[in-house]
Structure 1
């Protein structure tokens, strides 16, 4: 097996990803950062409440809460033009603020939180955490807010738990409430800390959606700079790859199909929300695009039949310390390229046609690919892929990058894989 080589383009991509993750501590921040970058690249932001213009030759985006869709329309597009959708998600497992979040005891200020998704809870111990998300004010205004390093979930010392190295199990109510200061909870205000960061009056807050995020910046490390560690690689690695790809594809765009980046929220909790993949967002926007191109129902169905969705999410690289948890033959490695995700029970949407199409896009990009399939005794999770295929009938293939420490507060990827995924996404958009 050859040793992976980290090129300058891959290192530049990783540095930009570190910037992107730092700007995206919540799904709402991620959607806003995608929109900001694409507006700077010439995309026009649309409002769902207003009429949309005719779209041939245009670049557009629309944000719905923590989700964002962006697309480029060929100048020769007509009512039956298909779409190439690169899909990903903006949320990650975390701790989420409860109502009345300012708590504490014994002179400690604590944050009342509940568990969002399926985090590796032990990975959140003994690291500095941010709070981030949106505040909703008394007039309905939505304001993004984020702190710097503010909280920490301290572990009990080994002197007080001599059996801890034989197995750690955290009580999700009693032992996951982070500390953020000293004093009496009756005279403190955690939401006030967020309000101050956002420059708003805390008394105007009527609602909020706030989660924790690792405060440490993403970093390249290891021999020959082969590794990249960061919070929220699941799935900001795919979101960032898609943003970079559609920016590049939009320059001189002359593909036969509409190129679309679809970033959904709430994948980690099932996607069944207005901004999740199981909700109506993608279907609504596709219909409005088709209507702007003059499509009737017959032409809308023809366009969907001529479309593809690449659902991009992370998958499990083979772990050197837990090889028995992986398939004994199919063992993806960091630095060996993006992965094609396969499951006999369609937890991933890949089939033979999808596999062939994916390998074709990889060949066009000059990128190698590897397969992922689970050990039969270790069932896999799922993605937005089967949801999108079921809702719209679009041919769909599940892909991603291999990582270690999935659902940790800080995950591990291969630097070259991150860049290669973006290269394949660009080939897909321009096919």
Structure 2
């Protein structure tokens, strides 16, 4: 085996919870948000992929570090060190927002599944995907689930490939990436707030911390500088993947749809359908398959995050490494969240409305959660020698400020 291959294999082994967390951020609902931003404003919002990257890394790294050092998920740590009303406030906002997000993702997967296989009705596609996910999560081991989710991340590269099938002015793209073009309109700021809410999502905070706990338990790790450094690399590469992908989704729809005069996209189905005559069948199929792949990746993360939160809040047995009978409450929560999300889809609640409600709820809770994460990360009783550095605090405070301003803008708009 060549040295290069050994380095690639070693690098792949380092990637884990951070990669899965980052990739799951590009879920079907996120793809719809990025597609609308590209269709409506062309390439003017490409700069957000650069700006949001360090913000995402700073918060997800803190959450991962809390999980590693405290040996508990984020909700378990909050329960131990904070008043109960904070715990219940987080649950009150998080439960409906995550379920609505699950519903929107299942709807996107079902709609695109129907596009690829027109003979199968949308609701049958949605039910099939939901059933597949439930069976897989309940009957497979944590290690197998983690490996499947990790390999599903490769699906995201389909979005990176699409622009290279098109004729693009790359100098113009570079200009819009490095030099922000701000439009002082409500539509522009709605798109901007939507991107922020989609990329810096509270459910990812809980999933990241809980997955790190699973990792140290599965691998019997002793947390030291080497483990922390490995986690930081994982988080940085995972967040880089999500931002590269959302950059290319905005680029694709910004070049194809915007230039064709298609300025409004409500769903991933509409985005995929609109791409077909303009970008060709290959681009259309890559986009559609990417939606299904990211849905299969994101829905377990969403439902899993909710299950960890509730299990930690009520001291239930938890973990994807446990059998169903060993953690019934954890798995029942996971199954019910998917079924309710499916039900929201079937009864006809618009996925776009679900996304709007989700964005509002996420916007309300994100600044509070970031403040708590910062507080925990600076608490030597919890974190010992692994407390935040000055740079960590600076980036965390900046992220909290940006998300607070986004929440205020969301209300005012």
TM-score interval w.r.t. the shorter chain? under 0.3
Kindly indicate whether structure 1 or structure 2 has the higher relative contact order, using CA contacts under 8 Å at least 6 residues apart: 2
Indicate the structure (1 or 2) with the bigger Cα radius of gyration: 1
Q: Where is the strand percentage greater, Structure 1 or Structure 2?
A: 1
Q: TM-score, normalised by structure 2?
A: 0.22
Q: Where is the helix percentage greater, Structure 1 or Structure 2?
A: 2
